[in-house]
Amino acid sequence: MTRDYRVLIDCRDEKGLVYKISKAFYDFGLNVEKNREFVDAQNGKFFMRSEVSGKFDPKALEAELKLVLPEKANIRLFEPRPKRIVLMATKESHCLGDILIRHEARELEAQIVGVVSNYDSLRSLVEKFEIPYVHVSHEGLQRAEHEEKIMAELEKFGEIDYIVLAKYMRILTPEFVSRYDERIINIHHSFLPAFIGANPYKQAYDRGVKIIGATAHFVNNNLDEGPIIAQDVIPIDHTMDWRQMRNAGRDVEKIVLAKALKLALEDKIFVYANKTVIFD
Amino acid sequence: MTRDYRVLIDCRDEKGLVYKISKAFYDFGLNVEKNREFVDAQNGKFFMRSEVSGKFDPKALEAELKLVLPEKANIRLFEPRPKRIVLMATKESHCLGDILIRHEARELEAQIVGVVSNYDSLRSLVEKFEIPYVHVSHEGLQRAEHEEKIMAELEKFGEIDYIVLAKYMRILTPEFVSRYDERIINIHHSFLPAFIGANPYKQAYDRGVKIIGATAHFVNNNLDEGPIIAQDVIPIDHTMDWRQMRNAGRDVEKIVLAKALKLALEDKIFVYANKTVIFD
Amino acid sequence: MTRDYRVLIDCRDEKGLVYKISKAFYDFGLNVEKNREFVDAQNGKFFMRSEVSGKFDPKALEAELKLVLPEKANIRLFEPRPKRIVLMATKESHCLGDILIRHEARELEAQIVGVVSNYDSLRSLVEKFEIPYVHVSHEGLQRAEHEEKIMAELEKFGEIDYIVLAKYMRILTPEFVSRYDERIINIHHSFLPAFIGANPYKQAYDRGVKIIGATAHFVNNNLDEGPIIAQDVIPIDHTMDWRQMRNAGRDVEKIVLAKALKLALEDKIFVYANKTVIFD
Amino acid sequence: MTRDYRVLIDCRDEKGLVYKISKAFYDFGLNVEKNREFVDAQNGKFFMRSEVSGKFDPKALEAELKLVLPEKANIRLFEPRPKRIVLMATKESHCLGDILIRHEARELEAQIVGVVSNYDSLRSLVEKFEIPYVHVSHEGLQRAEHEEKIMAELEKFGEIDYIVLAKYMRILTPEFVSRYDERIINIHHSFLPAFIGANPYKQAYDRGVKIIGATAHFVNNNLDEGPIIAQDVIPIDHTMDWRQMRNAGRDVEKIVLAKALKLALEDKIFVYANKTVIFD
């Protein structure tokens, strides 16, 4: 049976890697549908993403690749399947709604297994799409207590590939973040590293910038400093107060988040050195 | 004789200002070619820029406007004439060269009265255009000494409307800045407020951003924190090291600087509260 | 009682119009919240949009404006209320879904009174939002017959301010168009006037362009030649076939359509000479 | 001695090409600095561009590649050297001046061997840079006669890699074009295929578009229909007449032309099926 596989490799760079990998593909009789590679010469790192098809034994191919690649090479070789994702939100619906519509239209390689929010206000929107909505209020709780409750809910969803913070407006603790390392995608409503932290539109207004933007990034333990996946901006002018900036910014937020999410779902992102290599 | 005038007004906001101003124009028999106004409701400030023409006594019009406008209104009323500008540069030629070409093509409402640089390397380029080039080396000099020498050279140029820092890579002292308040335009090679200070492309590379940009702003006494006039960005990706970013960034730097310079030359910028109102 | 009004004026240009209009506002004791005007010198046309507030008799103001303005001036003066809109679609859901989400989030000054489609496939999506969905199949019908049936359904919705063609993929007859003159907004999936007609993404692929785009416009009787309201583009490259272009283009289509729709809902568009004046 | 080479391959697609090529590189002991490949599955075409370095016999490598690649494969293998280019212009200086400044700053992998114009007005600008300027007036001449004179002048420059039409406003005959097949780069002042032919800004104004743009393309025998290399756009609005559009468009014209020129100079463009594959 012909199978479609994705092959993701990252390892120490050395001479002949493309040759060795493409030889393995050739020897296994694979069709290479797509190939992207990148060498970070400065850090001596090699990255490659391939889409291959053919009748072959994936275990044997993986073993062969292990043999020819440098020690400690990361080799991921798998048949694409829809990722299982959880969305987290607070009160704003534009990013959440956009993902729900894309999901409904089968635009995403994903199954939304649930939505978690610290408010109940988005329940009606989410339940229209027959997706479980879990309200975990933070009121009266310590941050750690609140997150424990969330994590308990997340457990119930079973395996989770990505958590998408679709305007979830609370800071996550290191404990939470480390449990889902490189699997939490956030949308920040500024072109980072400008305007880290609270109310970036207010900050942008006060500074008098002429562009505003949005940044989708993996979450790490430094607020708004995780690896950036996608960014975009829109022009603004002096006539806009910060609320108008916020309204205008919604479109760029949702588009940038969706773009980053798709890259993740299609396994097009490598993370290293707090940066991303994107094979789009 | 029919005259073309620009009228720039900024004052405390109050009811009926547009009526009062347009009445004055009407009573003086003026044609209003262009009108732009803006009310900053939050700060209670009114701004207006008009282009008018007609046969009239400008002194009388100014007096009339003073009469009907709130106390302490700033009223500027003048016939447009080419501004006198000085360019300052260090070693890179892309911004400087771009302005020289625009000047040569009479694209700018300006006369370049001279170029000052702390290196001699751009002399040959500048002198092609028969523009005076003054080399004021900073070597072996304290910052204040160096600037005194520069200011002495600037004096020789006569009246100066704007100083354009076309990649002049040294920080100016408060003394220098205050002498040319709101008349020094700088191009910074990042989308401020991201990457203030030295080598923003290196900073951008280290942070792993997906867009880089440029910001043209008036210089004040806080490094890279003056009122922003224009900004733009370009997309980048992981394949670019910081030198490639710098090369790619040159085009956006020169376009943004030229855009800001034109706005200044055409009297389309109001500065207040460390921001700009732009009537483009 | 203080009222908020929008005032839209277009007329033959002549000297002193801003003065006369702002005098009327002043004499009626109005606060002018916003003012935008434009003179098309070439065609001798004047356009003005104001947002005013105050306690006043709108009939009297309108009479006063009629008195001071040139003959045949169009004066519209009204309290803003949500517009009644109908969406028309075929099978694709990205534009439709985007508008539904915005509507649900109360982002639009509109009430969606119904959705009409020539297929039944979007019913489930629309009915989630408790909006009437009418399926009017075109199968086996002449174009005129089909449209008669649609018009009959539209009648049932009562008064309609705008019809939004959210990827409605059939050409409308002059009879239909003239009934809703300047009230039908379409999204065309190219940067017009490039790639008029069927499958613009296929046309774009065949031509080998490096950007694709979308155009929102009012519909008139020349296919894809109505007054343009908004346009935007995205970069593409040689790796994309036309299906990938179509997928990538969906985001720009929905953003451009939403932008145009908002401008219409907020009465920021004047149409003349097959063009638009936009006071955004 | 270590040499840097560029290797450009295009051929019929078949299984294992990357393997075979990278094997050859590996067997010759080359370092692969950069690798880009593309398969046009629809047309069964394979494209690859590599930058390699090492001590090797280029003739032997070429022979080896010929051996392993499909019949009729195009293999180009060479040490990069500055290309010899001629600029052609009419009266406008913005594109020409931009290239002159870039050339002066050694930003281009090129030597400008001369400038040819049908007017004499740009002589002073060009001669500042000590570049030969040839005025070949078209007055009183048939198109063919005029071009013969131009070709005679071009002959005198010796070998020419590219002719850059930097706002050369005359249509070239098939004879001229075929002599420099895929070596003439033009900048057209619209986002093609919109607004082919004369005065695209006027056409854009008449149509009422909200974006204008520029297209750099190779010239073929159908006016403005050659393979597109680069395009970009800028937003415009109703306040601009066509002259203002033209002025605003100059920046995007010069940036797009320079971008296309650099791609050509760095051998990053493959042309086929009236399209371009760009390895940027």
Kindly report the three-state secondary structure assignment for every residue of C166-215: CCCCCCCCHHHHHHCCCCEEEEECCCCCCCCCCCHHHHHHHHCCCEEEEE
Q: Is the pLDDT of residue B1 over 90?
A: no
All partners of chain D with 3 or more CB pairs under 8 angstroms? A, B, C
- Structural domain including C68 reads 3-78
Task: For residue B244, list chain D residues with Cβ-Cβ distance below 8 A.
Answer: none
Give the 3-state secondary structure of residue D67: helix
Answer for the pair C34, C65: CB distance below 8 angstroms, yes or no.
Answer: no
Note whether C243 contacts D: Cβ–Cβ < 8 A.
no
Write down which residue in A48, A78, A108 finishes a domain.
A78
Is the pLDDT at C197 greater than 90, yes or no? Answer: no
Q: Decide if pLDDT at B223 tops 90.
A: no
Report the number of distinct structural domains present in chain D. 2
The burial class, CB within 10 Å (0-12 / 13-18 / 19+), for A72 is exposed
pLDDT at position D223: 77
A214 touches chain C (CB under 8 A): no
What pLDDT sits at residue A221? Answer: 85
* Cα of D131 to nearest chain C Cα, Å: 33
Q: What's the sign of the alpha-carbon dihedral D150, D151, D155, D157?
A: positive
Name the residue in chain A with its Cα closest to that of C236: A280
- D269 beta partners: D278
Question: Is there a single domain that holds both residue D233 and residue D194?
Answer: yes
Other Cβ atoms less than 10 A from the Cβ of C57: the count is 11
Bridge partner list, C11: C46
Tens of pLDDT along A243-252?
Answer: 999 999 999 9
Whole-number CA gyration radius for chain A: 21
Closest Cα partner for A136 from A152, A156, A113, A124?
A152
Please report which confidence band the pLDDT of residue A223 belongs to, taking 50, 70 and 90 as the band edges. confident
Stretch C180-190: mean pLDDT: 96
Report how far residue C28's alpha carbon sits from residue C61's, in angstroms, rounded to the nearest whole number.
7
Percentage of the residues of chain C whose pLDDT score is greater than 90: 94
Q: What are phi and psi of C207, to 5 degrees?
A: -80, -20
Shared-domain flag, residues D225 and D204: yes
- Predicted local distance difference test score (pLDDT) of residue D159: 97
* Span B129-152, pLDDT tens digits: 999 999 999 999 999 999 999 999
Q: What is the pLDDT of residues B244-265, one digit of tens each?
A: 999 999 999 999 999 999 999 9
Residue A106, token pair as written in the block: 């089968």
Active-site residue, C251 included: no
Long-range contacts of D41-45 (CB under 8 A, 24+ apart): D41/A33, D41/D13, D42/C241, D43/D272, D43/D273, D44/D12, D44/D13, D45/D10, D45/D11, D45/D12, D45/D13, D45/D272
Residues in C closer than 8 angstroms to A255, CB to CB, are 251, 255
Nearest chain D Cα distance for residue B122, angstroms: 10
Considering only CB atoms, D105 lies closest to which of B97, B104, B251, namely B97
Report cis status (omega within 30 of 0) of the bond before A193: yes
**Is residue D41 located within the same domain as residue D111?**
no
Check if D200 contacts B (Cβ < 8 Å): no
Chain C residues touching D214 at Cβ < 8 A: none
Of B59, B78, B97, the one marking the end of a domain is B78
Q: Which residues contact D205 (CB under 8 A, 6 or more apart)?
A: D240, D241, D242, D245
**CB neighbours of residue A120 within 10 Å:** 13
In sequence order, what DSSP letters do the residues of C61-76 get, joined into one string? HHHHHHHHSPTT-EEE
Are B112 and B62 in the same domain? Answer: no
Is the link from the previous residue into D132 a cis peptide, with omega within 30 of 0? Answer: no
pLDDT of residue B222: 83
> In the numeric block, which tokens belong to residue A225?
């400093």
At residue B135, φ and ψ (nearest 5 deg) are -100, 115
Residue D257 contacts C, CB cutoff 8 Å: no
Give the closest-approach CA distance of A42 to chain B in angstroms.
Answer: 9
Three-state DSSP at B5 gives strand
D55–chain B Cβ distance below 8 A for any pair: no
Sign of the Cα pseudo-torsion (C113, C117, C120, C123, in order): negative
B15 touches chain C (CB under 8 A): yes
- pLDDT tens per residue across span C265-274: 999 999 999 9
| Mean pLDDT to the nearest integer, C124-145 | 97
Question: Do B31 and C15 count as a contact with CB atoms less than 8 A apart?
Answer: yes
**A176, A224: one domain:** yes
Asked if C248 and C94 count as a contact pair (C-beta separation under 8 A), the reply is no
Whether the Cβ atoms of residue B257 and residue B214 lie closer than 8 Å to each other: yes
On whether both B60 and B9 belong to a single domain, the answer is yes
Whether residue B163 is found in the same domain as residue B103: yes
B58 and B171 together in one domain: no
Is C213–D211 a contact, with Cβ atoms under 8 angstroms apart? yes
Look at D26 and A19 and tell me if their CB atoms are within 8 Å.
Answer: yes
Residues B25, C19: C-beta atoms closer than 8 Å: yes
pLDDT of residue A236: 97
What is the tens place of the pLDDT at every residue in B94-107?
999 999 999 999 99
For residues B165 and B179, give the distance between their C-alpha atoms in angstroms, rounded to a whole number: 15
Per the CB < 8 Å rule, is A93 touching C104? yes
pLDDT of residue A224: 84
Same domain for B125 and B228?
Answer: yes
Q: Taking the alpha carbons of C80, C81, C82, C88 in that order, is the dihedral positive or negative?
A: negative
User: How far is residue A203's CA from residue B114's CA, in Å, rounded to a whole number?
Assistant: 38
CATH of the domain at B167: 3.40.50.170
- Any CB–CB contact under 8 A between D104 and chain B? yes
Catalytic residue among A224, A237, A267, A280: A224
Q: What residues of chain C lie within 8 A of the CB of D278, using their CB?
A: 210, 237-238
Class of residue A141 by CB neighbours under 10 A (exposed 0-12, middle 13-18, buried 19+)? middle
d(CA B134, CA D153): 40
Bridge partners for A217 per DSSP: A186, A228
ipTM of the complex: 0.95
pLDDT of residue D2: 85
Examine the pLDDT at C215 and tell me if it is beyond 90: yes
Q: Percentage of residues in chain A with pLDDT exceeding 70?
A: 100
Which of B207, B227, B238 has the CB atom closest to A208's CB atom?
Answer: B227
Q: How far apart are CA B59 and CA B77, in angstroms?
A: 9
A129, A128, A175, A139: which is closest to A154 by C-alpha?
A175
- B37 in contact with A, Cβ within 8 Å: no
Q: Identify the domain boundary among B49, B78, B107.
A: B78
* C160 and C90 within one domain: yes
Cα A136 to Cα A89, A170, A179, distances in angstroms: 11, 12, 19
State how far the Cα of C169 lies from the Cα of A143, in Å rounded to an integer: 51
Q: Do C255 and A251 touch (CB under 8 A)?
A: yes
Q: At what angle do helices A58-68 and A17-27 cross, to 10 degrees?
A: 150
Q: Is D210 on the interface with C (CB under 8 A)?
A: yes
At C251, the pLDDT band (50, 70, 90 cuts) reads very high
Task: pLDDT tens for chain D, 280 residues: list them.
Answer: 788 999 999 999 999 999 999 999 999 999 999 999 999 998 999 999 999 999 999 999 999 999 999 999 999 999 999 999 999 999 999 999 999 999 999 999 999 999 999 999 999 999 999 999 999 999 999 999 999 999 999 999 999 999 999 999 999 999 999 999 999 999 999 999 999 988 999 999 999 999 999 999 999 988 789 999 999 999 999 999 999 999 999 999 999 999 999 999 999 999 999 999 999 9
Instruction: Find where tokens 């100079």 sit.
Output: D265
Indicate if B101 and B218 belong to the same structural domain.
yes
Helix H or strand E encompassing B240: none
What's the CATH code of the domain at D26?
A: 3.30.70.260
% of chain C residues with pLDDT over 70: 100
Chain C closest-CA separation from residue D108 CA (Å): 23
Query: Based on the domain organization, do C193 and C246 belong to the same domain?
Result: yes
Measured distance CA(D137)–CA(D117) in Å, rounded: 8
